[in-house]
Amino acid sequence: MIVYFDNAATTALEEEVVQAMLPYLTEHYGNPSTLYSLGRTTRAAIEEARKTMAKLINAQPGEITFTSSATEANNTVLKGAVLYAGVERIITSPTEHHCVGHTVEFCRDYLHTEVEYVRVDKNGNADLEHLSQLLAASDKKTLVSLMHANNEIGTMLDIEQAGNICRQYGALFHSDTVQTFAHFPIDVQQLPVDFIVGSAHKFHGPKGIGFLYMRKQSKVASFIHGGGQERGMRAGTENVAGIVGMATAAKKAYDHLEADKAHILSVKNYFKESLLSTLEDIDFNGNTDDRSLYTVLNVSFPPSDKSALLLFLLDLAGICCSGGSACGSGAAAGSHVIQALGKDPDRVSIRFSFSKYNTREEVDIVMEKLKETFASRKE
Ligand code: PLP
15 or 308, which is more confident? 15
Provide the pLDDT confidence category of residue 121 given band limits of 50, 70 and 90.
very high
Q: Is 32 in the pocket of ligand 1 (CB under 6 A)?
A: no
Q: Is the pLDDT of residue 79 over 90?
A: yes
pLDDT for res 379 = 59
CA of 372 to the centre of ligand 1 (A): 33
Q: What ligand 1 atom has the least distance to the C-alpha of 70?
A: 15
Tell me if 178 CB under 6 Å of ligand 1.
yes
Ligand 1 atom with least separation from CA of 9: 8
Q: Is the CB of 327 under 6 A from ligand 1?
A: yes
Nearest Cα to Cα of residue 293 among 153, 122, 98, 145: 153
Instruction: Please say whether the beta carbons of 350 and 322 come within 8 A.
Output: yes
pLDDT digits (tens, 9 = 90+) for 265-315: 999 999 999 999 999 999 999 999 999 999 999 999 998 887 778 899 999
Q: Three-class SS of residue 196?
A: strand
d(CA 165, CA 132): 7
pLDDT tens-digit readout, 226-254 = 999 999 999 999 999 999 999 999 999 99
The answer to whether the CB of 205 is under 6 A from ligand 1 is no
Tell me, what's the pLDDT at 212? 98
Say yes or no: CB of residue 322 within 6 Å of ligand 1.
no
Query: Using only C-alpha atoms, what is the Rg of the chain?
Result: 21
Laid out side by side, the sheet with 348-353 consists of 283-285, 296-301, 348-353
Q: Which atom of ligand 1 is found nearest the CA of 150?
A: 3
The answer on pLDDT for 145 being more than 80 is yes
Distance in angstroms (rounded) separating the CA atoms of residues 240 and 66: 10
CA of 68 to the centre of ligand 1 (A): 11
Contact 241, 92 (CB under 8 A): no
Average pLDDT on 147-169 reads 98
Q: Which stretch of DSSP H or E encloses residue 117?
A: strand 114-117
Scanning 94-150, the segments in alpha helix (DSSP H) are 98-111, 128-136
CA of residue 296 to ligand 1 center, whole Å: 14
Pairing of strands 319-320, 3-4: parallel
Q: How far apart are CA 149 and CA 216, in angstroms?
A: 24
Handedness of CA 51, 53, 55, 59 (dihedral sign): negative
Q: Which residues contact 286 (CB under 8 A, 6 or more apart)?
A: 123, 124, 150, 152, 153, 154, 155, 292, 296, 298
Identify the pLDDT of residue 378.
Answer: 67
Amino acid letter for position 69: S
**pLDDT, position 331:** 41
Tell me, what DSSP letter sits at residue 283?
E
Residue 320 is a catalytic residue: no
Q: Is 298 in the pocket of ligand 1 (CB under 6 A)?
A: no
Please name the residue whose Cα sits nearest to atom 16 of ligand 1. 71
Q: Ligand 1 atom closest to Cα of 210?
A: 15
pLDDT band per the 50, 70, 90 thresholds, residue 329: very low
3-class secondary structure, 3: strand
**Pocket lining: 199 vs ligand 1, CB cutoff 6 Å:** yes
Residue 217 has what pLDDT?
Answer: 79
299 alpha carbon – ligand 1 mean position (Å): 21
Q: What is the 287 CA–ligand 1 centroid distance (Å)?
A: 20
Q: Which atom of ligand 1 is nearest to the CA of 200?
A: 15
Query: What is the value of pTM for the model shown?
Result: 0.96
Ligand 1 pocket residue status of 353, Cβ below 6 Å:
no
Question: Taking a C-beta distance cutoff of 8 angstroms, is the pair 149, 157 a contact?
Answer: yes
Q: How many whole angstroms from 352 Cα to the centroid of ligand 1?
A: 16
pLDDT for res 323? 83
